[in-house]
Structure 1
Amino acid sequence: MGEECVHVLPSNKIGESTLRQMGIILQGDHYVFTEEVGAPVNEDVDEDDQEAQIPDPTNVVGSSQPPPQYSLESISRQIEMMATMQQTRMDEMMAFHNRRYDEITSHLHEIDSKLAKMYIPDSEDES
């Protein structure tokens, strides 16, 4: 009575590999953090005690932190190099487009001058 019912669709399921990446595995019929494997599952523990048992997320398998071989300094240098390469490429592209624009404009002026030379006024235009 008065219980809330939530319907779970298959698309809402979390896969086993995702749980493993989060550091959670199935032990018997309970899911536990990998650091707690072998520790007895105690269902009689208060909620306050459960909060204290939550492992440090930086130690969980598959954490979102970069591997230790990458330092913030090296990542910053890589980003800076990529930005420089991108700016160089953009400058090259702008120079190429400017050259093409100038070539096309010059061709259009040539066509315009040739058409002007070919123009023969009609007798009606002279009046």
Structure 2
Amino acid sequence: MSHNGMWAVASDTTQPLRYVLSVSDGNRYALTAPTLIGRNPHPTPQDGACNLVLISDPLRTVSKTHLMIATDGGGLYVVDRDSTNGTVVTLPDGQQVICGAGQKVRITAGATVMCGQFAVRIELQ
């Protein structure tokens, strides 16, 4: 106890940031593991355990396995999975990055990832 009878609380800065993927179709998903997004996403053996986000896209602007969003020691990133229509990231400052197939592109909360006609906004929980 502290001298005034109240417990001292230390801030815990070791907790990882918690991200939410907010898709323009109205769905929201917690980013709790590497996440594959597409019309019918399937992980490869190298992906390991992944969350899958299925986007209903009758116009087929989104590939079956369009992209992956994940975190590592360097932070948050997106990888285009050789999609047909590509992936474009708009960072919070307005800068746009076209993701090359297989290229790891660093992103931050507030970024918007376009896959086909759908936007995925990265938010902090």
| TM-score for the superposition, normalised by structure 2 | 0.22
User: Which one has a larger percent helix, Structure 1 or Structure 2?
Assistant: 1
Structure number with the higher strand fraction is: 2
Max Rg structure: 1
Quick one: higher RCO (CA 8 Å, sep 6+), 1 or 2? 2
